[in-house]
Amino acid sequence: MPTQTWTAPPGLEGVVVTETALSDVDGATGRLTYRGRPIEEVVQTFRFETLVPWLVTGTMRDLGGPAWRELPDRPWPARPMAALAAVLLHLDDAWPDDVESACRLVLGLPVMFGRAVSGGRRCDDPDAPVAARYLALVTGRTPTPTHVRALDAYWVMAAEHSLNASTFAVRVAASTGARLPLALAAGVGVLSGPRHGGAPEGVLTLLEEIGRQPDDPEAVLRAKLDAGERLMGFGHRVYRAVDPRARALRAVFEQLAGEDPWARLAARTEEAALRLLAERHPERPLATNVEFYAAAVLKALGIPRALCPPTFALGRMAGWTAHWWEERRRGRLIRPLARYRPV
């Protein structure tokens, strides 16, 4: 029998490795759906508390309130992503292994993580939305309703995006039968890599540089383009049309711009950047991507820069958990092949 020959594209790009009912990303037309519903509709319809059980199970259900867990007084890792993974590792033995408990875990994590990284700070209103409690913990201030809505919408928008690297890691862990906290910790580890989760960092650096000379953002942007640098927050690897998550988050961003000088600066930066990119690259439309709005929103909310990656991860936990549950029910170990090639 002849030996079968095959090639694997770099990064497995374009290779289908699973089927899912959770989300569909159409980069050519700029479309993203959660369980068949456009992301723009989902952001308007759901709060994070209602999104999580719907995304994980496909049905609307009342969880009866999230099960907040008290964490021990202990020194958590200084790096925020490592601290988030450590919280998950601490919870592994204690958390029940069923779907409703999984949803409660996702909704409880922002408060548990916020307490851990704030040195045990407490929130005065235990009945407040999870976004309000998280903002109070990590900023030390009572958030405005506009800020609470902005973070909630950001988490809904960030919850799911098909089979990216961290989601694939969670699915592989789920296929082995790993319990949810450790599967989520695998996702956190993968997301901590700068090639996957570092885009908002570049946008924040850009906006902070422009903030030092706010009267002329175009001068900073033009100098970067003249030096051959990329403008972080514009263009996307998958989307060739406008990123639908950017459209969904822009409405939230515009509400913040009425309250926050930083958001107004970001709006002027976006306008100047799009004008310059159209001038330099008329053959290749480069639209604002979701990372630009995410960075601007998180900065306007007062979330410390180091906490931006775990804040995104706390939203993405919803999608990771849905993938974990979908893969667990499939019950088959993910075991791809590797082609041997001697040196």
Catalytic residues: 236, 291
- Report the alpha-carbon distance of residue 214 to residue 200 in Å, rounded: 20
Residue entry with tokens 């979701």: 290
Q: Which sign, positive or negative, has the C-alpha torsion 202, 208, 211, 213?
A: negative
Tell me the sheet residues that pair with 24.
33
- Given a contact cutoff of 8 angstroms between Cβ atoms, the answer to whether 225 and 281 are in contact is no
Angle between helices 261-280 and 217-226 (to 10 degrees): 40
- Residue 25 phi, psi (nearest 5): -110, 115
- Report the alpha-carbon distance of residue 32 to residue 263 in Å, rounded: 25
How far lies 114's CA from each of 29, 61, 72, 110, 137, in Å? 37, 26, 13, 6, 5
What is residue 177's three-state secondary structure? Answer: coil
In this structure, what token pair is assigned to residue 310? 């775990």
Burial 318-337 (b: 16+ CB within 10 A, else e): bbbbbbbbbbbeeeeeeeee
Neighbours of 243 (CB within 10 A): 26
In this structure, what token pair is assigned to residue 229? 């640098």
Give 5-14's long-range contacts (Cβ < 8 A, gap of 24+).
6/339, 8/339
